[in-house]
Structure 1
């Protein structure tokens, strides 16, 4: 009995409508799976696996979660067999473009709830392994005037200077400020330091006829609102 050696078929041997690039042209980008989109970024696979198979391996290393994939660095990605530096950089660049698109300031709605504030700020405060402190400045109609990173810290804390915050608010003639920082640990509980800083900023803002409207703690796709919890 003759045993046939199993061979890995390259993408070029697939039907045109199944090849990621051709499929995108024929059926549109929405028809592609995450693995197929990543395969287009990779361009090629390896001697033993197609670009799509390699993309599936990459996704598996991120628990098949695009948000977790966005947290990986070049050093993380090149540890995956078949992924070199060029492929890793292509993936990270594409995910960063997606993050920037989500964080675009164009056509922002009036901020009338903590959920809307979270939607505007979450792309800036997710997928990062350290704490950052941001502010969102609003006009009298509660529309976003500007959002700005105030500080960058370590994995368990960052410092926000009230002088910098109020100078930015005065420069932009802001009527309201929404404070925000992330907790990379995923813990949404407000610390004593968080409560003290919020109180200090609220007292200072009152003297300048500016309102501190909320303080959000963001952890991936979840958030804690000081306003909603009656802590302002």
Structure 2
């Protein structure tokens, strides 16, 4: 009996499609590794091969991250390029763990927004229109320059603002623009 290759699996069971449909968190470690290596061997699918590799590392990603290229190349279906892909991905994960998380300020009042953003706009001779996209904790997810204009006008396209709000899953937005003339009534 021949093995069933991944492209013959039900779409909902294929690792790439599963990630797209259900998100990255539902995939097993073997399925995530299978996406990295792309293909298995004649005898086993990429997922089966990755299960075997993980089994040799006692299903422990820390143990797997200590393997060298030569160790991974001992598995039939893993060549140097696939071994390097696995090692590179695990190294990225290690670096992510040790990276310093920059604390984003809480922007829950107009005074805090002003203090955070005043240096961005204070000496400009023209108008600019910015949007800050916030999460539920009033911390910045993204900021975007929407328009740059003359000294008394700047164009704003609401569709751009809303599209980015949806893309970054913002809970709220803060709209900011300056008056280079200093006149707040116009």
Match of 1:76 among 47, 71, 74: 71
The list of structure 1 runs, each at least 4 consecutive aligned residues, that deviate by more than 3 angstroms after superposition, is none
Q: Tell me the equivalent position of 1:38.
A: 33
1:2-42 Cα shifts (integer Å, max 9, x gaps): xxxx1100000000010000000000000100000000001
1:110-156 Cα shifts (integer Å, max 9, x gaps): xxxxxxxxxxxxxxxxxxxxxxxxxxxxxxxxxxxxxxxxxxxxxxx
Match of 1:55 among 50, 61, 75: 50
The runs of 5 or more residues in structure 2 that have no matched partner are 104-186
TM-score normalised to the size of structure 2?
Answer: 0.54
1:99 counterpart = 2:103:
no
The runs of 5 or more residues in structure 1 that have no matched partner are 1-5, 109-232
The RMSD of aligned alpha carbons is: 1.1
Q: Tell me the equivalent position of 1:85.
A: 80
Q: Tell me the equivalent position of 2:24.
A: 29
Structure having the higher Rg: 2
TM-score normalised to the size of structure 1?
Answer: 0.43
1:8 counterpart = 2:36:
no
How many residues align? The count is 103
Question: Which moves more between the two structures, 75-84 or 93-102?
Answer: 75-84
